[in-house]
Amino acid sequence: MDYDIAIIGLGPAGSSLARLLSSSFKVIALDKKHQSGDEGFHKPCGGLLSTDAQKAFIRQGLNLPADILTDPQIFSVRTYDLQTNLVCNYQRSYVSFDRHKFDLWLKSLIPSTVTVYHNTLCKEILRIIDGYQITYENEDKIEYKITAKYVVGADGANSVVRRMRYPNHTIRQYVAIQQWFTEKHTTPFYSCIFDNRSTNCYAWSISKDGYFIFGGAFPKKAANQHFESLKEKLKSHGFNFGDPLKTEKCLVVYPNRLGDFYTGNENIFLIGEAAGFISASSLEGISYALNSAEILSKILNSGHPKPNKSYYQRTIPLRLKLYSKIAKAKILTTPFWRKLIMKSKIQHIKTN
């Protein structure tokens, strides 16, 4: 084998795993994104670090650098139900950051012992004796082949590893669309929007560094039309958009059953969103990316004789927690139950 471990994708999951693996391993990491500057793919993400993700950073001894943080830090979410015109304000302890800078920072922490190729596309993964042959294409469209004992799919919602090796383990996908505008609101705010006529998921907005960011997750069919329709509806609720400065899009998985969470087999491992590890109720996936990477690193570093079985067993708490998020999402996206919750004013904070 050319390498002990090949990591496909360097989002939060892949970058964390590459950083946490023992230096005794010979590791290669392939990422389709650029490493520096504002070029290439930007993930449509509100850029909020949940308390679970904060705990993962505490365990791993990491602190966010100041230039990643955004202004202002908002500690509440304004929740809109467009079916009933109800609005509630709930406290949240998120840390707001620039998602693109965050991803680049995590990649910068990967040790020099790991071979990293940016702007590189994984094209094929073939089973061979004692491992896998991986074909990848660099930015000059030149193909290379390498071999590795272990393969880790950390390549997100549209994971090529999951699609190639486990075509029967499909998972529901939505289109996440996000646009950036010049901030025109008098008071910056963070919001969560439910509108079952536009999507059976949800939409969001957040103010950051003089910008107003609006996004949402929509079924693939007519996603753009529903996105624009929702923007029009929100204008009557005080949302001020103007002309978009940029638009970001990507696929996002939206799990709806326990079987959607798949961890891999035969020395292939799926971590983060490639494994389906994302909250159905909030689309928060960074904490699960960090946690699944941490779990897998400990298993591989320990030289466990059955790493796939151990990884499956040790991620059971993650999967059960995510299954509870599916149940929560079904309640929140059902107009009747959502109306009851919001009319009850439980945990609602009245603003002046």
pLDDT at 38: 65
Per residue in 82-112, pLDDT tens?
Answer: 999 999 999 999 999 999 999 999 999 999 9
CATH of domain 3-344: 3.50.50.60
Identify the DSSP state of 168: T
- Tell me, what's the pLDDT at 352? 78
Question: What span, in angstroms and rounded, lies between the C-alpha atoms of 189 and 74?
Answer: 7
Looking at residue 139, its pLDDT comes to 87
Sign of the alpha-carbon dihedral angle for 301, 9, 132, 274: positive
Give me the pLDDT at residue 209, please: 96
Beta-sheet pairing, 131-137 with 121-128 = antiparallel
Q: Measured between alpha carbons, how far is 208 from 47 in angstroms, rounded to an integer?
A: 9
Distance CA 334, CA 203 (A): 15
Greatest distance between any 2 Cα atoms in the chain: 67
Quickly count helices (H) and strands (E) in the chain: 9, 16
Please give the pLDDT value at position 43: 85
Which regions in the chain score pLDDT beneath 70?
35-41
Q: Distance between CA 141 and CA 304 in Å, rounded?
A: 38
E strand or H helix at 265: none
Token code pair at residue 6: 């090949």
Place of tokens 């796939």: 308
Q: What pLDDT, in 10s, does the model give residues 2-13?
A: 999 999 999 999
Tokens of 100: 């693109």
- Position 194 scores a pLDDT of 97
Q: Do the Cβ atoms of 262 and 278 come closer than 8 Å?
A: no
Q: Phi and psi for 343 in degrees, rounded to 5?
A: -70, -25
pTM: 0.95
